[in-house]
Structure 1
Amino acid sequence: MSKARLLIVEDDVDIANMLRLFFKSQGYEVEVAMRGSEALEKTRQGLPHLLVLDIMLPDIDGYEVCRALRTNTRTSHIPILFLTQKDERSDKLKGLELGADDYITKPFDIEELKLRVQNALARAERESLTDPQSGLPSGRLIEDQLRKIIRQSDWAFMDIRINYFDAFRDVYGLIAANDVVRFTAMLLSEVVDEVGTPSDFIGHAGGDNFVIFTTSQAAPRLKERLKQRFAEAVLSHYNFIDRQQGFILAPGRGGEMIKTPFMSLAIGYVTPAMQPFTDIREITEVAAEERRRDALLAAG
């Protein structure tokens, strides 16, 4: 997988710095939070792939942080590894009952902690819980949400894809393209916070394809705001010359260089008011058709 993002939640400055430096040396992206409330805010701003979470924190304890993450649709999938001085069986059981993935007691062996982190990340990827690029829910978790909403009366399923993403990757390379994927994941989260609902679910179906589960009322404004925000912010991923000329030159199917527009979002969504759905495949197929129609309209 690409660089996994770890969030270390630890109020002991020495331990926090030691863990930050160690895991950075192992190739991870690492952020540190000294308080539980800060950890929840950082998680909301950008999903980490895993939390190393101390239980004894100065504001809310690690149990409360874990409970908040597990009860939020958008963060319930993130692996959590408790790090604590407590060694009582009851404390371990409480953490595991809340949904923690593992538990290690201070003082700890740093190599053992590294292996536990690696195992938790590998398990999440193997079980199709998270996309390795974005850290968003993927695979099975998206399917679980589809099975959940089909039994409800008010929902909207949004299928989102990045137009001209392949051309951008051909010109700017894989690393720049991966940056666009991570940027898009963060943008979706920001816009859902802005105009969506607290229970909205954001998923990454793979590559340049994302999904949002929301309400039928929120879907139209989410679509409009996502397109607007993406069009404004994506320009920063292009160099000055391309921004000035308003397009990029990308190789066509025959190898010739053709003018290609900047990336944009194609978004299609479906609600139960449009037609009755009896199978989750119908939901995804109709949403994909709506998304393709949206792409054609944008292409003019």
Structure 2
Amino acid sequence: MSRILVIEDEEPVRENILEILENEGFDAIAAENGSIGLYLAQQKLPDLILCDVLMPELDGYAVLNALRSESQTATIPFMFLSAKTARMDLQQGMNLGANAYLRKPFTLDELLIAIAINIQNKYFITCRS
């Protein structure tokens, strides 16, 4: 079972995503801000991280920078989920090393397809290494 970490400061959004993931058979864990999310990522080493951009304490960009700078977490697939929809925002996230950037609001199918692609790519890369 794949473990997915959801880092999202808005409780209703976080709870909705957790419910979706659990209903799809994922082991879902959550953090309400970037600092807690970074800690959980380092401790739990999830198979995928879904992260908001605008959050208290550490924003999503800082979380991704910190994860990519540590060998233990550098290759964890990372997806931004954000209401920041400008092309510049998407470009910034991808330039930092995000694997995907979903604009809120996103559909259930968009979320599940992006998750499937990123988890499949993680295992493909791991098997080929």
TM-score under structure 2 normalisation? 0.97
Larger Rg: 1
Tell me the residue number matched to 1:46.
44
Map of 1:139-150 to 2, 5 A cutoff?
A: 140=129
Map of 1:164-179 to 2, 5 A cutoff?
A: none
Q: Does 1:82 align with 2:75?
A: no
Q: Which 4+ runs in 1 deviate beyond 4 A?
A: none
Tell me the residue number matched to 2:3.
5
Distance in 1, matches of 2:108 and 2:53, equals 18
Tell me the residue number matched to 1:14.
12
**CA drift at 1:59:** 1.2
Task: Map Cα deviations across residues 107-137 of structure 1 (whole Å, 9 max, x no partner).
Answer: 11012101100100001111227xxxxxxxx
Structure 2: gaps of 5 or more residues: none
Identity rate of aligned residues, in percent? Answer: 31
TM-score under structure 1 normalisation? 0.42
Q: Secondary structure at the match of 2:85?
A: coil
Tell me the residue number matched to 1:73.
71
Amino acid at match of 1:127: I
Q: Secondary structure at the match of 2:101?
A: strand
Number of paired residues?
Answer: 129
Amino acid at match of 2:73: T
Task: Map Cα deviations across residues 130-172 of structure 1 (whole Å, 9 max, x no partner).
Answer: xxxxxxxxx52xxxxxxxxxxxxxxxxxxxxxxxxxxxxxxxx
Amino acid at match of 1:120: N
Distance in 1, matches of 2:100 and 2:13, equals 19
- The CA RMSD measured in Å over matched residues stands at 1.0
Task: Map Cα deviations across residues 258-296 of structure 1 (whole Å, 9 max, x no partner).
Answer: xxxxxxxxxxxxxxxxxxxxxxxxxxxxxxxxxxxxxxx
Bigger RCO (CA 8 Å, 6+ sep)? 2
Distance in 1, matches of 2:124 and 2:72, equals 19
Amino acid at match of 1:105: R
Map of 1:256-275 to 2, 5 A cutoff?
A: none
Choose from 22, 34, 37 the match for 2:35.
37
Structure 1: gaps of 5 or more residues: 130-138, 141-300
**CA drift at 1:45:** 1.4
Choose from 50, 54, 57 the match for 2:55.
57
Q: Secondary structure at the match of 2:123?
A: helix
